[in-house]
Structure 1
Amino acid sequence: MPAKGLQPLRVHSGRWTVRYSSVTAPTIRKKGPGRPQRSPLISTLNPELLRTSDYVDLSGRRCIHIGLRHNLNGDDDSRSPALFRYFQTSQPIAFPDKCAGFLYYHRDSHAAPLEGGLRFRCTPDDQPTSFSRGRDLLWPTGIPWQVIVPQLGRPMYQEFADQLLRENLASQAQISRCRELFDTVKIYPSRILFRLDQEFPVDFASPPSLTVVAEKRQRVFFSSIFTSFAPAGGFLRSAQAPTSDLEPDEPEVEKPRLVFPFTGSAVARFEPSMVNGRRVVHMRILRIVRPIASVFLNYEGRLLEPQEGELLTVALRGQAPEPWKCDLARKNSTAAAFRALWDVSRIP
């Protein structure tokens, strides 16, 4: 039977999403028989105000509750710990080994208005001075693990949102706007873009689906960016094609079909450019996470093999290879989303 004052947790999981729930009293975990262990408490989300007592060890844990200490002279039980997890696709997995450090709020100097989030800095020791020598925890996809402002703006994260306001790390206007834009929408932090040059994960065997946030929230689905046309039997004629509608000596060539010619994953970003006086957006492959491999033998298709550090390149029939691009002058939802990102990114 739960201790008096405690309420059972309800935990919801989602792809690429850090999930955590609030309770009305400190969560008690046991480490060994009869040895209760309280949730770790931290005093700040500002990396410049960290204390040794803010050091948290996540190593090997499948989940952890972290609370906020409001009374720096002692333990304050009037808090709502939050549950933090680590995911690979939609499955919760243990935090990596050697994953100890500080939870903090991060916002780039050139961030978009609603951009920012909680990150975890892994450090070599528990001293705040080691923060600058540490590295941010990454998702298995290669981008920083984080809980973004749109997530923190929800009621279940009120404790951390209030802390951001107390420390002047975020404004009420930012949090309120995120609540308006996302409301009850499921949030996938890794798939949300606030500006053009923001990094995001890509899997070359599936179409990217992103949410663009500017004046409004727009979903962008790139159904064919990593695809090429190939016949069902590969890049050769199929010897098993039916011939019922043809003369016996006429082999049938199967119609081309859309395929993903490569497997592997990477971290990418979009880049603005001007081509013949027109605004366009390219995609750069920044870092390869899972090695790229070709699905077909003797592949000769539209999409060239992605290269680390290079722009994604395509070779259209009868033309020389050139960087993939999206023309912002086009009248479709993808171009409209890129125009919004171009404007919010303050690109001339």
Structure 2
Amino acid sequence: MSRKLSLTARFPVSKPTYAIRYASHTLGPKKVYIGFPDHTRGFLYFHSDPHAGPLAGGIRFRVTPDNSPSSFPAGQDVLAPHGLPWEILLAQIACRANYAGIAAQLVRETLVTPEQLSRCRGLFSQRAHIEPQNTIFHLASPFRINFSSPISLTVAGDEVHNVVLPGVFRASAEYNKKYFPWSGSGIVQFERSTLPESAGRRVLHMRIIKTLEPVVCTVDIRSYHGRVVQPVEGQLLTVRDYQRPPAPWAYDIDSHRSQSAAALRALWENS
């Protein structure tokens, strides 16, 4: 699939499935498709996560050392431009007509059930866009963020919720002016707090799994002493509030009454 803009997948008992694509970006009024990376040779396969519930999972592409299925464990998944594994989510397969062949094959191989596909259609069919990099099915699901933007997620469980956390990476200047002190992007995930001060409460931290675009201070770093400490790959996001020493960013999901907090409570209970 190296450099190909799309792949036509054919299965013995179904119509061809067209336009399995790698990625796209918007150039003016047009959508421009990006070809698969070099050395994309291997196997399409269905990936599932037993911790993420019955609606998670999707088609991925595993690059392998040779064309034998025995080399599959030695391979690695192709990454999408957003830094996470390239994937066609089960929700996308269920809701898009051009993936009907894949849906039929998954059912034929008993990898998913018709009930799972029907449930996905019921939850996701009204959504214009389903973005794998911002759709999470359990607390430990990684997702992409931009350090100079609010966090916006789709949380999927028994229901589908939108989660918007506008102030995670934001700081305040004089006259209470809000700004984002850091630019760059990365992959993060929520973690349940194990700190003594969180005992008996449901508190989330956020770990920076990987930085994708370099983290750069948007103000004069020599004089910056704002709320958000520079994000560092591998560490928890750290903030300093009210002249206190820096500490991990913490979100108590039971002390907020927003729809986002309700979605995270549901995710906590289902994870």
Shared fold (TM-score greater than 0.5)? Answer: yes
Distance 1:144 1:261 in 2: 29
Distance 1:332 1:81 in 2: 41
Asked whether 1:121 is paired with 2:121, we answer no
Partner amino acid, structure 2, of 1:277: G
SS of the residue corresponding to residue 230 of structure 2 reads: coil
**Deviation digits for residues 159-212 of structure 1, max 9, x if unmatched?**
111111111101122111111001231211211111000111111122221011
Asked whether 1:80 is paired with 2:16, we answer yes
Distance 2:207 2:262 in 1: 20
Distance 1:219 1:210 in 2: 6
Distance 1:205 1:331 in 2: 25
Is the CA contact 1:59–1:98 (under 8 Å) kept in the aligned structure 2?
yes
Asked whether 1:334 is paired with 2:264, we answer no
For structure 1, the 5+ residue unaligned runs are 1-57, 71-77, 232-254
Distance 1:155 1:304, change over 3 A: closer
Distance 2:218 2:172 in 1: 13
> Between Structure 1 and Structure 2, which shows a larger proportion of helix residues?
2
Which residue of the partner structure matches residue 320 of structure 1?
245
Partner amino acid, structure 1, of 2:164: F
Is the CA contact 2:4–2:36 (under 8 Å) kept in the aligned structure 1?
yes
Partner amino acid, structure 2, of 1:169: L
For structure 2, the 5+ residue unaligned runs are 27-31
Partner amino acid, structure 1, of 2:132: P
**Deviation digits for residues 113-163 of structure 1, max 9, x if unmatched?**
211100000112212111111110111121011011111112512211111
Is the CA contact 2:10–2:17 (under 8 Å) kept in the aligned structure 1?
yes
Q: How far apart are residue 276 of structure 1 and its match?
A: 3.6
Distance 1:289 1:68 in 2: 36
Aligned ranges 1:231-246 → 2 under 5 Å: 231=174
Which residue of the partner structure matches residue 132 of structure 2?
189
Which residue of the partner structure matches residue 102 of structure 2?
160
Distance 1:109 1:276, change over 3 A: closer
Q: Which has the larger radius of gyration?
A: 1
2:229 to 287, 290, 304: 304
Aligned ranges 1:1-348 → 2 under 5 Å: 58-70=1-13, 79-87=15-23, 90=26, 91-156=32-97, 157-186=99-128, 187-231=130-174, 255-273=175-193, 275-297=198-220, 298=222, 299-329=224-254, 330-345=256-271
- Aligned residue pairs total 258
Please give the root-mean-square deviation of Cα atoms over the aligned residues, in Å.
1.6
Is the CA contact 1:88–1:139 (under 8 Å) kept in the aligned structure 2?
no
